[in-house]
Structure 1
Amino acid sequence: MKLLREFALDKQPQHDHQPNPAALRDMLGANLRKLTARSESISALCREIGINRTQFNRYLAGESFPRPDLLHRICRHFGVDARILLEPLESVAAPVKGPMVHPAVADFLGRSAQPVREEDFPSGFYRFVRRSFLDSNRFVMGLVYVFRADGLCFLRGFEAREAMRSQGLPADPCTREFRGAVLPQEDGVSALVSRRGATTATYNFLSRVPTFENNYWVGYTSRPLRENVAGRRFERQVYEHLGRKTGKVLAAARASGLVSADSLMPYHRQLLEPDKPIS
Protein backbone atom coordinates (compact mmCIF):
# COMPACT_ATOMS: atom_id res chain seq x y z
CA MET A 1 0.00 0.00 0.00
CA LYS A 2 2.83 2.36 0.82
CA LEU A 3 4.34 1.76 -2.62
CA LEU A 4 0.98 2.44 -4.27
CA ARG A 5 0.61 5.66 -2.35
CA GLU A 6 4.09 6.77 -3.41
CA PHE A 7 3.30 5.85 -7.02
CA ALA A 8 0.09 7.83 -6.81
CA LEU A 9 2.00 10.79 -5.42
CA ASP A 10 4.49 10.51 -8.27
CA LYS A 11 1.59 10.78 -10.70
CA GLN A 12 0.30 14.00 -9.16
CA PRO A 13 0.75 17.00 -11.48
CA GLN A 14 3.95 18.82 -10.74
CA HIS A 15 3.68 22.59 -10.49
CA ASP A 16 6.52 24.89 -11.44
CA HIS A 17 7.77 27.19 -8.77
CA GLN A 18 5.69 30.36 -8.85
CA PRO A 19 7.64 33.59 -8.41
CA ASN A 20 6.67 35.64 -5.40
CA PRO A 21 5.61 39.31 -5.69
CA ALA A 22 9.07 40.54 -4.75
CA ALA A 23 10.63 38.52 -7.59
CA LEU A 24 8.08 39.93 -10.03
CA ARG A 25 8.82 43.48 -8.92
CA ASP A 26 12.54 42.84 -9.31
CA MET A 27 12.02 41.47 -12.83
CA LEU A 28 9.91 44.46 -13.85
CA GLY A 29 12.45 46.88 -12.39
CA ALA A 30 15.36 45.21 -14.18
CA ASN A 31 13.50 45.24 -17.51
CA LEU A 32 12.48 48.88 -17.14
CA ARG A 33 16.04 49.90 -16.33
CA LYS A 34 17.18 48.28 -19.58
CA LEU A 35 14.37 49.89 -21.57
CA THR A 36 15.13 53.36 -20.19
CA ALA A 37 18.93 53.09 -20.31
CA ARG A 38 19.20 55.23 -23.46
CA SER A 39 16.60 57.81 -22.46
CA GLU A 40 18.05 61.29 -22.13
CA SER A 41 15.62 62.22 -19.33
CA ILE A 42 13.40 60.05 -17.16
CA SER A 43 11.21 63.09 -16.48
CA ALA A 44 10.67 63.65 -20.22
CA LEU A 45 10.01 59.94 -20.69
CA CYS A 46 7.37 59.98 -17.94
CA ARG A 47 5.66 62.98 -19.54
CA GLU A 48 5.67 61.18 -22.88
CA ILE A 49 4.11 58.05 -21.38
CA GLY A 50 1.76 60.01 -19.12
CA ILE A 51 2.92 58.63 -15.81
CA ASN A 52 3.99 60.14 -12.48
CA ARG A 53 7.79 60.41 -12.18
CA THR A 54 7.89 59.43 -8.50
CA GLN A 55 5.74 56.38 -9.12
CA PHE A 56 7.83 55.38 -12.14
CA ASN A 57 10.96 55.55 -9.98
CA ARG A 58 9.33 53.00 -7.68
CA TYR A 59 8.80 50.67 -10.64
CA LEU A 60 12.44 51.12 -11.66
CA ALA A 61 13.57 50.26 -8.15
CA GLY A 62 11.39 47.14 -8.01
CA GLU A 63 9.32 48.56 -5.17
CA SER A 64 5.88 48.61 -6.78
CA PHE A 65 3.68 47.31 -9.61
CA PRO A 66 1.90 49.61 -12.07
CA ARG A 67 -1.86 49.52 -12.40
CA PRO A 68 -3.09 47.61 -15.48
CA ASP A 69 -3.77 50.84 -17.41
CA LEU A 70 -0.29 52.20 -16.62
CA LEU A 71 1.32 48.87 -17.49
CA HIS A 72 -0.47 49.04 -20.84
CA ARG A 73 0.95 52.53 -21.49
CA ILE A 74 4.46 51.42 -20.58
CA CYS A 75 4.29 48.32 -22.77
CA ARG A 76 2.84 50.26 -25.70
CA HIS A 77 5.53 52.93 -25.47
CA PHE A 78 8.41 50.45 -25.47
CA GLY A 79 6.86 47.93 -27.87
CA VAL A 80 6.75 45.02 -25.41
CA ASP A 81 3.98 43.12 -23.67
CA ALA A 82 3.03 42.28 -20.08
CA ARG A 83 5.57 39.46 -19.95
CA ILE A 84 8.05 42.09 -18.75
CA LEU A 85 6.61 41.17 -15.33
CA LEU A 86 7.72 37.56 -15.70
CA GLU A 87 10.59 37.17 -18.16
CA PRO A 88 13.88 38.87 -19.05
CA LEU A 89 13.54 41.68 -21.56
CA GLU A 90 15.43 39.78 -24.26
CA SER A 91 12.64 37.21 -24.53
CA VAL A 92 9.64 39.56 -24.67
CA ALA A 93 10.38 41.88 -27.59
CA ALA A 94 7.22 42.41 -29.61
CA PRO A 95 7.22 40.71 -33.02
CA VAL A 96 7.43 43.03 -36.00
CA LYS A 97 4.30 42.96 -38.17
CA GLY A 98 3.51 44.49 -41.53
CA PRO A 99 3.53 43.85 -45.28
CA MET A 100 7.32 43.71 -45.55
CA VAL A 101 7.51 40.65 -43.30
CA HIS A 102 4.83 38.79 -45.26
CA PRO A 103 6.19 35.45 -46.55
CA ALA A 104 5.84 36.70 -50.14
CA VAL A 105 8.59 39.31 -49.64
CA ALA A 106 10.11 38.60 -46.22
CA ASP A 107 13.38 37.28 -47.69
CA PHE A 108 13.69 40.41 -49.82
CA LEU A 109 12.36 43.26 -47.66
CA GLY A 110 12.12 41.71 -44.21
CA ARG A 111 15.36 43.19 -42.89
CA SER A 112 14.03 46.69 -43.54
CA ALA A 113 11.10 45.96 -41.23
CA GLN A 114 13.35 45.45 -38.22
CA PRO A 115 13.26 48.09 -35.46
CA VAL A 116 15.46 51.17 -35.82
CA ARG A 117 17.87 51.14 -32.90
CA GLU A 118 17.80 54.14 -30.58
CA GLU A 119 21.55 54.65 -30.94
CA ASP A 120 21.24 54.74 -34.75
CA PHE A 121 18.44 57.32 -34.86
CA PRO A 122 17.54 58.66 -31.40
CA SER A 123 14.06 59.72 -30.37
CA GLY A 124 13.35 63.39 -29.78
CA PHE A 125 13.13 66.60 -31.81
CA TYR A 126 15.11 67.27 -34.98
CA ARG A 127 15.62 70.50 -36.88
CA PHE A 128 15.50 69.82 -40.62
CA VAL A 129 16.35 71.96 -43.62
CA ARG A 130 16.10 71.41 -47.37
CA ARG A 131 15.64 73.45 -50.51
CA SER A 132 12.03 74.13 -51.47
CA PHE A 133 10.67 71.86 -54.18
CA LEU A 134 8.84 74.80 -55.78
CA ASP A 135 11.21 77.75 -55.26
CA SER A 136 14.90 76.99 -55.76
CA ASN A 137 15.88 80.28 -54.09
CA ARG A 138 14.29 79.41 -50.76
CA PHE A 139 14.76 76.72 -48.15
CA VAL A 140 12.34 74.96 -45.83
CA MET A 141 13.32 74.87 -42.15
CA GLY A 142 11.20 72.98 -39.66
CA LEU A 143 10.91 70.54 -36.78
CA VAL A 144 10.13 66.85 -36.71
CA TYR A 145 9.58 64.67 -33.69
CA VAL A 146 10.89 61.10 -33.79
CA PHE A 147 9.21 58.64 -31.44
CA ARG A 148 8.75 54.94 -30.90
CA ALA A 149 5.59 52.90 -30.42
CA ASP A 150 5.06 49.14 -30.39
CA GLY A 151 8.77 48.65 -31.02
CA LEU A 152 8.70 50.67 -34.26
CA CYS A 153 10.07 54.11 -35.15
CA PHE A 154 7.96 56.99 -36.48
CA LEU A 155 8.27 60.71 -37.14
CA ARG A 156 5.79 63.56 -37.01
CA GLY A 157 5.93 67.19 -38.10
CA PHE A 158 4.12 70.07 -39.77
CA GLU A 159 4.61 71.68 -43.16
CA ALA A 160 5.49 75.38 -43.14
CA ARG A 161 2.38 77.57 -43.32
CA GLU A 162 3.86 79.72 -46.06
CA ALA A 163 4.70 76.66 -48.15
CA MET A 164 1.12 75.40 -47.87
CA ARG A 165 -0.37 78.77 -48.79
CA SER A 166 1.93 79.10 -51.81
CA GLN A 167 0.36 75.89 -53.16
CA GLY A 168 -3.17 77.09 -52.48
CA LEU A 169 -3.61 74.59 -49.64
CA PRO A 170 -5.18 75.17 -46.21
CA ALA A 171 -2.68 76.10 -43.50
CA ASP A 172 -4.51 74.68 -40.48
CA PRO A 173 -2.54 72.26 -38.26
CA CYS A 174 -4.59 69.21 -39.27
CA THR A 175 -3.83 69.72 -42.97
CA ARG A 176 -0.19 70.67 -42.39
CA GLU A 177 0.62 67.63 -40.24
CA PHE A 178 2.71 64.85 -41.75
CA ARG A 179 3.81 61.52 -40.33
CA GLY A 180 6.09 58.76 -41.47
CA ALA A 181 7.51 55.33 -40.72
CA VAL A 182 11.27 55.09 -40.23
CA LEU A 183 13.13 51.98 -41.40
CA PRO A 184 16.76 50.88 -41.01
CA GLN A 185 19.08 50.96 -44.02
CA GLU A 186 22.62 49.68 -44.45
CA ASP A 187 24.16 53.14 -44.12
CA GLY A 188 21.44 55.05 -42.29
CA VAL A 189 17.65 55.20 -42.13
CA SER A 190 14.83 55.80 -44.57
CA ALA A 191 11.34 57.18 -44.03
CA LEU A 192 8.12 57.10 -46.02
CA VAL A 193 6.28 60.31 -45.13
CA SER A 194 2.84 61.64 -46.04
CA ARG A 195 0.18 64.11 -44.94
CA ARG A 196 -3.12 62.88 -43.55
CA GLY A 197 -5.34 61.41 -46.26
CA ALA A 198 -2.82 62.03 -49.04
CA THR A 199 -2.36 59.54 -51.89
CA THR A 200 1.34 60.35 -52.35
CA ALA A 201 4.32 60.08 -50.03
CA THR A 202 7.90 61.32 -50.04
CA TYR A 203 10.83 58.97 -49.68
CA ASN A 204 13.60 60.16 -47.38
CA PHE A 205 17.08 58.80 -46.77
CA LEU A 206 19.45 59.99 -44.03
CA SER A 207 22.99 58.97 -43.15
CA ARG A 208 24.82 60.07 -40.02
CA VAL A 209 27.57 62.66 -40.38
CA PRO A 210 30.64 62.15 -38.14
CA THR A 211 30.73 65.20 -35.85
CA PHE A 212 31.82 65.96 -32.30
CA GLU A 213 28.29 65.54 -30.91
CA ASN A 214 27.30 62.95 -33.52
CA ASN A 215 23.93 64.66 -33.97
CA TYR A 216 23.73 65.40 -37.71
CA TRP A 217 22.29 63.36 -40.58
CA VAL A 218 22.40 64.28 -44.26
CA GLY A 219 20.58 62.70 -47.18
CA TYR A 220 17.83 63.51 -49.61
CA THR A 221 14.07 63.57 -50.05
CA SER A 222 12.15 62.77 -53.22
CA ARG A 223 8.61 63.30 -54.51
CA PRO A 224 6.83 60.67 -56.66
CA LEU A 225 5.97 62.98 -59.57
CA ARG A 226 6.20 62.84 -63.33
CA GLU A 227 9.04 64.69 -65.00
CA ASN A 228 6.83 67.34 -66.60
CA VAL A 229 5.25 68.44 -63.31
CA ALA A 230 6.39 71.87 -62.09
CA GLY A 231 8.96 71.85 -59.32
CA ARG A 232 11.92 69.70 -58.43
CA ARG A 233 11.61 66.06 -57.44
CA PHE A 234 14.84 65.55 -55.44
CA GLU A 235 16.44 67.73 -52.79
CA ARG A 236 19.29 67.28 -50.37
CA GLN A 237 18.28 67.60 -46.70
CA VAL A 238 19.87 67.85 -43.25
CA TYR A 239 18.55 66.64 -39.90
CA GLU A 240 20.00 67.98 -36.64
CA HIS A 241 19.07 66.10 -33.47
CA LEU A 242 17.99 68.49 -30.71
CA GLY A 243 16.77 65.83 -28.29
CA ARG A 244 14.27 67.26 -25.84
CA LYS A 245 16.20 70.39 -24.88
CA THR A 246 13.45 72.97 -24.53
CA GLY A 247 15.56 76.01 -25.38
CA LYS A 248 16.89 74.59 -28.63
CA VAL A 249 13.51 73.19 -29.64
CA LEU A 250 11.71 76.51 -29.08
CA ALA A 251 14.41 78.43 -30.96
CA ALA A 252 14.14 76.03 -33.89
CA ALA A 253 10.35 76.32 -33.86
CA ARG A 254 10.52 80.12 -34.00
CA ALA A 255 12.91 79.95 -36.98
CA SER A 256 10.75 77.49 -38.94
CA GLY A 257 9.38 78.44 -42.34
CA LEU A 258 10.68 79.41 -45.78
CA VAL A 259 14.05 81.19 -45.61
CA SER A 260 16.75 82.43 -47.97
CA ALA A 261 20.15 80.81 -48.34
CA ASP A 262 21.68 83.67 -46.33
CA SER A 263 19.53 82.67 -43.34
CA LEU A 264 20.88 79.13 -43.19
CA MET A 265 23.16 78.15 -40.35
CA PRO A 266 26.74 77.86 -41.70
CA TYR A 267 27.07 74.15 -40.98
CA HIS A 268 23.64 73.42 -42.45
CA ARG A 269 24.65 75.28 -45.60
CA GLN A 270 27.93 73.35 -45.75
CA LEU A 271 26.11 70.01 -45.56
CA LEU A 272 23.38 71.03 -48.01
CA GLU A 273 25.88 72.18 -50.66
CA PRO A 274 23.20 74.33 -52.34
CA ASP A 275 25.46 75.20 -55.29
CA LYS A 276 26.19 71.55 -56.06
CA PRO A 277 23.66 69.60 -58.17
CA ILE A 278 22.21 66.58 -56.41
CA SER A 279 23.12 63.31 -58.08
Structure 2
Amino acid sequence: MTQDFPRNLRLLCSYYKSIAEVCRRLNINRPQFNRYLSGRSMPSANTMRRFCDFFGVEEHEILMPHSQFQRLIQVRPSATTPTDSGLPETEHLEHIGKLGNAGLDKYLGYYFEYHISMACPGKLLRMLVCLERRDDKIYYQRTERLKESPHEKTYHGVYLGMANFLTDRIFMVDYESLTGHEITQTILFPTFKNRVSRLTGLKLGVSGSGERMPCAARVMYEYLGQSVDVRRALALCGLYDLDSPEIEDSIKKAVTNDIAPGEWHFRARH
Protein backbone atom coordinates (compact mmCIF):
# COMPACT_ATOMS: atom_id res chain seq x y z
CA MET A 1 0.00 0.00 0.00
CA THR A 2 2.90 2.35 0.83
CA GLN A 3 4.35 1.90 -2.67
CA ASP A 4 0.94 2.13 -4.39
CA PHE A 5 0.03 5.48 -2.85
CA PRO A 6 2.92 7.51 -4.35
CA ARG A 7 2.36 5.87 -7.74
CA ASN A 8 -1.34 6.72 -7.56
CA LEU A 9 -0.55 10.26 -6.49
CA ARG A 10 1.87 10.71 -9.39
CA LEU A 11 -0.81 9.42 -11.76
CA LEU A 12 -3.30 11.98 -10.48
CA CYS A 13 -0.76 14.76 -10.84
CA SER A 14 -0.10 13.76 -14.45
CA TYR A 15 -3.52 15.13 -15.40
CA TYR A 16 -2.32 18.63 -14.52
CA LYS A 17 0.22 20.86 -16.27
CA SER A 18 2.85 20.46 -13.56
CA ILE A 19 3.54 19.41 -9.99
CA ALA A 20 3.98 23.09 -9.20
CA GLU A 21 0.42 23.79 -10.29
CA VAL A 22 -0.90 21.01 -8.05
CA CYS A 23 1.05 22.32 -5.07
CA ARG A 24 -0.12 25.86 -5.70
CA ARG A 25 -3.78 24.84 -5.94
CA LEU A 26 -3.48 22.64 -2.86
CA ASN A 27 -1.52 25.35 -1.03
CA ILE A 28 1.08 22.80 0.03
CA ASN A 29 4.86 23.02 0.42
CA ARG A 30 6.63 21.57 -2.67
CA PRO A 31 9.44 19.77 -0.76
CA GLN A 32 6.87 18.12 1.51
CA PHE A 33 4.75 17.11 -1.49
CA ASN A 34 7.85 15.61 -3.11
CA ARG A 35 8.26 13.36 -0.06
CA TYR A 36 4.72 12.03 -0.65
CA LEU A 37 5.46 11.48 -4.34
CA SER A 38 8.64 9.56 -3.55
CA GLY A 39 7.01 7.43 -0.85
CA ARG A 40 9.33 8.67 1.88
CA SER A 41 6.37 9.77 3.99
CA MET A 42 2.59 9.46 4.16
CA PRO A 43 0.25 12.44 4.58
CA SER A 44 -1.70 12.99 7.77
CA ALA A 45 -5.41 12.16 7.85
CA ASN A 46 -6.29 15.82 7.31
CA THR A 47 -3.89 16.22 4.39
CA MET A 48 -5.09 12.94 2.86
CA ARG A 49 -8.64 14.26 2.98
CA ARG A 50 -7.53 17.44 1.19
CA PHE A 51 -5.85 15.36 -1.53
CA CYS A 52 -8.94 13.20 -2.03
CA ASP A 53 -11.28 16.20 -2.21
CA PHE A 54 -9.00 17.94 -4.69
CA PHE A 55 -8.55 14.97 -7.03
CA GLY A 56 -12.13 13.72 -6.68
CA VAL A 57 -11.35 10.26 -5.27
CA GLU A 58 -12.07 8.42 -2.04
CA GLU A 59 -9.36 7.58 0.49
CA HIS A 60 -9.77 3.83 -0.02
CA GLU A 61 -9.42 4.39 -3.77
CA ILE A 62 -6.17 6.34 -3.64
CA LEU A 63 -4.69 3.48 -1.57
CA MET A 64 -5.73 0.81 -4.09
CA PRO A 65 -3.18 -1.32 -5.94
CA HIS A 66 -1.84 0.86 -8.73
CA SER A 67 -3.11 -1.25 -11.65
CA GLN A 68 -6.63 -1.25 -10.21
CA PHE A 69 -6.50 2.47 -9.48
CA GLN A 70 -5.25 3.17 -12.99
CA ARG A 71 -8.28 1.44 -14.52
CA LEU A 72 -10.59 3.37 -12.21
CA ILE A 73 -9.08 6.74 -13.12
CA GLN A 74 -9.20 5.96 -16.85
CA VAL A 75 -13.00 5.81 -16.77
CA ARG A 76 -13.53 8.71 -14.36
CA PRO A 77 -14.43 12.06 -15.93
CA SER A 78 -12.06 14.95 -15.42
CA ALA A 79 -13.26 18.13 -13.76
CA THR A 80 -13.85 19.69 -17.19
CA THR A 81 -15.45 16.64 -18.82
CA PRO A 82 -19.27 16.54 -19.05
CA THR A 83 -20.55 13.65 -16.93
CA ASP A 84 -22.81 12.10 -19.58
CA SER A 85 -23.72 8.61 -18.41
CA GLY A 86 -24.69 7.48 -21.90
CA LEU A 87 -27.99 6.17 -20.58
CA PRO A 88 -31.11 6.81 -22.69
CA GLU A 89 -33.27 9.72 -21.64
CA THR A 90 -36.69 9.17 -20.11
CA GLU A 91 -38.56 9.91 -23.33
CA HIS A 92 -36.63 7.16 -25.10
CA LEU A 93 -37.75 4.63 -22.49
CA GLU A 94 -41.33 5.81 -22.89
CA HIS A 95 -40.93 5.40 -26.66
CA ILE A 96 -39.91 1.75 -26.14
CA GLY A 97 -43.06 1.26 -24.08
CA LYS A 98 -45.21 2.59 -26.88
CA LEU A 99 -43.45 0.48 -29.50
CA GLY A 100 -43.91 -2.63 -27.39
CA ASN A 101 -47.69 -2.59 -27.03
CA ALA A 102 -48.68 -3.72 -30.50
CA GLY A 103 -49.53 -7.42 -30.52
CA LEU A 104 -50.26 -7.79 -26.81
CA ASP A 105 -54.04 -7.41 -26.98
CA LYS A 106 -54.64 -11.08 -27.66
CA TYR A 107 -52.78 -11.92 -24.45
CA LEU A 108 -55.02 -9.82 -22.20
CA GLY A 109 -56.92 -11.70 -19.52
CA TYR A 110 -56.21 -14.06 -16.63
CA TYR A 111 -53.50 -16.70 -16.22
CA PHE A 112 -52.24 -19.17 -13.68
CA GLU A 113 -48.49 -18.71 -13.30
CA TYR A 114 -46.39 -21.75 -12.32
CA HIS A 115 -42.78 -21.85 -11.15
CA ILE A 116 -40.65 -23.50 -8.48
CA SER A 117 -40.94 -21.27 -5.42
CA MET A 118 -37.91 -19.12 -4.62
CA ALA A 119 -38.93 -18.73 -0.99
CA CYS A 120 -39.82 -22.40 -0.51
CA PRO A 121 -37.42 -24.48 -2.65
CA GLY A 122 -38.81 -27.86 -3.63
CA LYS A 123 -42.36 -26.56 -3.82
CA LEU A 124 -44.26 -25.52 -6.93
CA LEU A 125 -46.04 -22.15 -6.69
CA ARG A 126 -49.25 -21.33 -8.55
CA MET A 127 -50.16 -17.62 -8.78
CA LEU A 128 -52.95 -15.63 -10.45
CA VAL A 129 -51.99 -13.06 -13.10
CA CYS A 130 -54.21 -10.50 -14.83
CA LEU A 131 -53.11 -8.47 -17.88
CA GLU A 132 -55.21 -5.48 -18.93
CA ARG A 133 -54.93 -2.44 -21.19
CA ARG A 134 -55.17 1.05 -19.74
CA ASP A 135 -54.96 3.81 -22.34
CA ASP A 136 -51.87 3.02 -24.42
CA LYS A 137 -50.10 0.70 -21.96
CA ILE A 138 -50.46 -2.90 -20.78
CA TYR A 139 -50.46 -3.33 -17.01
CA TYR A 140 -50.68 -6.50 -15.00
CA GLN A 141 -51.09 -7.80 -11.47
CA ARG A 142 -49.62 -11.00 -10.07
CA THR A 143 -51.25 -12.23 -6.87
CA GLU A 144 -49.45 -14.72 -4.66
CA ARG A 145 -51.32 -16.78 -2.07
CA LEU A 146 -49.08 -18.51 0.46
CA LYS A 147 -49.91 -20.72 3.40
CA GLU A 148 -46.86 -22.75 4.31
CA SER A 149 -48.65 -24.84 6.97
CA PRO A 150 -52.29 -25.48 7.91
CA HIS A 151 -51.86 -23.54 11.14
CA GLU A 152 -50.42 -20.39 9.56
CA LYS A 153 -52.38 -17.41 8.30
CA THR A 154 -52.75 -17.09 4.55
CA TYR A 155 -50.47 -14.44 3.05
CA HIS A 156 -51.32 -12.52 -0.12
CA GLY A 157 -48.56 -10.79 -2.06
CA VAL A 158 -49.48 -8.37 -4.85
CA TYR A 159 -47.04 -7.55 -7.66
CA LEU A 160 -47.84 -4.67 -10.02
CA GLY A 161 -46.11 -4.22 -13.34
CA MET A 162 -46.07 -3.35 -17.02
CA ALA A 163 -45.73 -5.63 -20.05
CA ASN A 164 -44.12 -4.96 -23.44
CA PHE A 165 -43.96 -6.93 -26.67
CA LEU A 166 -40.57 -6.50 -28.34
CA THR A 167 -39.22 -8.56 -31.25
CA ASP A 168 -41.26 -11.69 -30.63
CA ARG A 169 -40.83 -11.76 -26.85
CA ILE A 170 -43.08 -10.61 -24.01
CA PHE A 171 -41.14 -8.61 -21.38
CA MET A 172 -42.73 -8.09 -17.97
CA VAL A 173 -41.33 -6.08 -15.03
CA ASP A 174 -43.15 -5.69 -11.72
CA TYR A 175 -42.60 -4.78 -8.08
CA GLU A 176 -43.97 -6.14 -4.82
CA SER A 177 -46.50 -3.45 -3.88
CA LEU A 178 -46.98 -4.14 -0.16
CA THR A 179 -43.38 -3.75 1.02
CA GLY A 180 -41.59 -2.52 -2.11
CA HIS A 181 -38.70 -4.89 -1.37
CA GLU A 182 -38.66 -6.81 -4.65
CA ILE A 183 -38.61 -6.29 -8.42
CA THR A 184 -39.22 -9.26 -10.71
CA GLN A 185 -38.60 -9.62 -14.44
CA THR A 186 -40.28 -12.25 -16.60
CA ILE A 187 -39.63 -12.95 -20.29
CA LEU A 188 -42.11 -15.18 -22.10
CA PHE A 189 -42.32 -16.83 -25.50
CA PRO A 190 -45.42 -15.61 -27.34
CA THR A 191 -47.68 -17.99 -29.21
CA PHE A 192 -48.23 -17.51 -32.93
CA LYS A 193 -51.44 -19.52 -32.86
CA ASN A 194 -54.82 -17.82 -32.90
CA ARG A 195 -55.66 -19.34 -29.53
CA VAL A 196 -53.55 -18.55 -26.47
CA SER A 197 -53.21 -21.53 -24.15
CA ARG A 198 -49.77 -21.59 -22.52
CA LEU A 199 -46.72 -19.33 -22.46
CA THR A 200 -43.29 -20.38 -21.21
CA GLY A 201 -40.15 -18.49 -20.30
CA LEU A 202 -37.86 -17.42 -17.47
CA LYS A 203 -38.25 -15.19 -14.44
CA LEU A 204 -35.62 -13.46 -12.33
CA GLY A 205 -36.33 -12.32 -8.79
CA VAL A 206 -35.34 -12.48 -5.16
CA SER A 207 -36.36 -15.20 -2.73
CA GLY A 208 -38.74 -14.03 -0.05
CA SER A 209 -36.73 -15.78 2.64
CA GLY A 210 -34.37 -13.96 4.97
CA GLU A 211 -31.34 -14.45 2.70
CA ARG A 212 -33.03 -12.62 -0.23
CA MET A 213 -31.04 -14.65 -2.73
CA PRO A 214 -31.35 -13.62 -6.41
CA CYS A 215 -32.86 -16.57 -8.30
CA ALA A 216 -33.83 -17.54 -11.84
CA ALA A 217 -36.59 -20.03 -12.56
CA ARG A 218 -38.47 -21.44 -15.52
CA VAL A 219 -42.05 -20.28 -15.62
CA MET A 220 -45.29 -21.22 -17.36
CA TYR A 221 -48.43 -19.14 -17.86
CA GLU A 222 -51.69 -21.04 -18.34
CA TYR A 223 -54.43 -18.95 -19.97
CA LEU A 224 -57.76 -18.90 -18.12
CA GLY A 225 -59.81 -16.43 -20.14
CA GLN A 226 -60.87 -12.79 -20.34
CA SER A 227 -62.77 -13.06 -17.06
CA VAL A 228 -62.72 -15.47 -14.12
CA ASP A 229 -64.19 -15.85 -10.65
CA VAL A 230 -61.22 -14.29 -8.88
CA ARG A 231 -62.14 -15.72 -5.48
CA ARG A 232 -62.28 -19.28 -6.83
CA ALA A 233 -59.12 -18.79 -8.87
CA LEU A 234 -57.19 -17.52 -5.84
CA ALA A 235 -58.44 -20.49 -3.81
CA LEU A 236 -56.52 -22.74 -6.23
CA CYS A 237 -53.31 -20.72 -5.83
CA GLY A 238 -50.57 -21.61 -3.40
CA LEU A 239 -47.73 -24.07 -2.82
CA TYR A 240 -47.91 -27.63 -4.17
CA ASP A 241 -45.66 -30.64 -3.77
CA LEU A 242 -43.78 -31.55 -6.93
CA ASP A 243 -45.59 -34.91 -7.04
CA SER A 244 -49.04 -33.40 -6.42
CA PRO A 245 -51.72 -34.96 -8.67
CA GLU A 246 -53.42 -31.54 -8.83
CA ILE A 247 -50.65 -30.25 -11.12
CA GLU A 248 -50.38 -31.72 -14.62
CA ASP A 249 -47.17 -33.53 -15.49
CA SER A 250 -46.67 -31.31 -18.55
CA ILE A 251 -46.63 -28.24 -16.29
CA LYS A 252 -44.16 -29.85 -13.86
CA LYS A 253 -41.89 -30.71 -16.75
CA ALA A 254 -42.07 -27.20 -18.20
CA VAL A 255 -40.95 -25.54 -14.94
CA THR A 256 -38.27 -28.05 -13.92
CA ASN A 257 -35.05 -26.15 -13.30
CA ASP A 258 -32.39 -28.39 -14.82
CA ILE A 259 -29.53 -27.78 -17.23
CA ALA A 260 -29.16 -30.18 -20.13
CA PRO A 261 -25.76 -31.45 -21.32
CA GLY A 262 -24.15 -28.89 -23.59
CA GLU A 263 -26.06 -25.94 -22.15
CA TRP A 264 -23.83 -23.18 -20.81
CA HIS A 265 -26.59 -20.92 -19.52
CA PHE A 266 -29.85 -21.39 -17.66
CA ARG A 267 -32.21 -21.15 -20.62
CA ALA A 268 -35.94 -21.01 -21.16
CA ARG A 269 -37.48 -23.92 -23.03
CA HIS A 270 -40.07 -23.25 -25.66
Q: What is the TM-score with the length of structure 1 in the denominator?
A: 0.50
- SS in structure 2 at match of 1:273: coil
Task: Extract unaligned runs of 5+ from structure 1.
Answer: 1-101
Q: Are 1:140 and 2:125 counterparts?
A: yes
Q: Kindly indicate whether the alpha-carbon contact (under 8 Å) linking 1:135 and 1:231 is maintained by their aligned counterparts in 2.
A: no
Give the whole-Å Cα distance in 1 for the aligned partners of 2:136 and 2:194.
Answer: 29
**RMSD across aligned C-alpha pairs, in angstroms?**
3.6
Q: Are 1:262 and 2:247 counterparts?
A: no
Q: Kindly indicate whether the alpha-carbon contact (under 8 Å) linking 1:129 and 1:140 is maintained by their aligned counterparts in 2.
A: yes
Question: Which position in structure 2 is the counterpart of 1:116?
Answer: 101
Question: Which position in structure 2 is the counterpart of 1:86?
Answer: none
Give the whole-Å Cα distance in 2 for the aligned partners of 1:159 and 1:132.
Answer: 11
Q: Kindly indicate whether the alpha-carbon contact (under 8 Å) linking 1:134 and 1:232 is maintained by their aligned counterparts in 2.
A: no
Give the whole-Å Cα distance in 2 for the aligned partners of 1:275 and 1:221.
Answer: 14
Counterpart amino acid of 2:202? Y
Report the structure number with the largest CA radius of gyration: 2
Q: Kindly indicate whether the alpha-carbon contact (under 8 Å) linking 1:238 and 1:271 is maintained by their aligned counterparts in 2.
A: yes
Task: State the number of aligned residues.
Answer: 170
Q: What is the TM-score with the length of structure 2 in the denominator?
A: 0.52
Percent identity reads 16
Q: Kindly indicate whether the alpha-carbon contact (under 8 Å) linking 2:114 and 2:126 is maintained by their aligned counterparts in 1.
A: yes
Q: Kindly indicate whether the alpha-carbon contact (under 8 Å) linking 1:178 and 1:195 is maintained by their aligned counterparts in 2.
A: yes
Displacement, 1:120? 6.0
Change (3 A) 1:139 1:212: farther
Alignment map for 1:14-53 (pairs within 5 Å): none
Give the whole-Å Cα distance in 2 for the aligned partners of 1:189 and 1:217.
Answer: 10
Q: Kindly indicate whether the alpha-carbon contact (under 8 Å) linking 1:216 and 1:238 is maintained by their aligned counterparts in 2.
A: yes
Task: Extract unaligned runs of 5+ from structure 2.
Answer: 1-86, 261-265
When you count helix as a share of all residues, which structure comes out higher?
Answer: 1
Give the whole-Å Cα distance in 2 for the aligned partners of 1:194 and 1:261.
Answer: 27
Give the whole-Å Cα distance in 1 for the aligned partners of 2:241 and 2:203.
Answer: 19
Give the whole-Å Cα distance in 2 for the aligned partners of 1:216 and 1:275.
Answer: 20
Question: Which position in structure 1 is the counterpart of 2:183?
Answer: 201
Deviations 1:41-71 (A, max 9, x none): xxxxxxxxxxxxxxxxxxxxxxxxxxxxxxx
Displacement, 1:136? 2.4
- SS in structure 2 at match of 1:111: helix
Q: Select the residue among 156, 159, 170 that pairs with 2:144.
A: 159
Q: Kindly indicate whether the alpha-carbon contact (under 8 Å) linking 1:115 and 1:153 is maintained by their aligned counterparts in 2.
A: no
Displacement, 1:192? 1.1
Q: Select the residue among 164, 167, 171 that pairs with 1:190.
A: 171
Give the whole-Å Cα distance in 2 for the aligned partners of 1:118 and 1:181.
Answer: 15
Change (3 A) 1:136 1:258: same
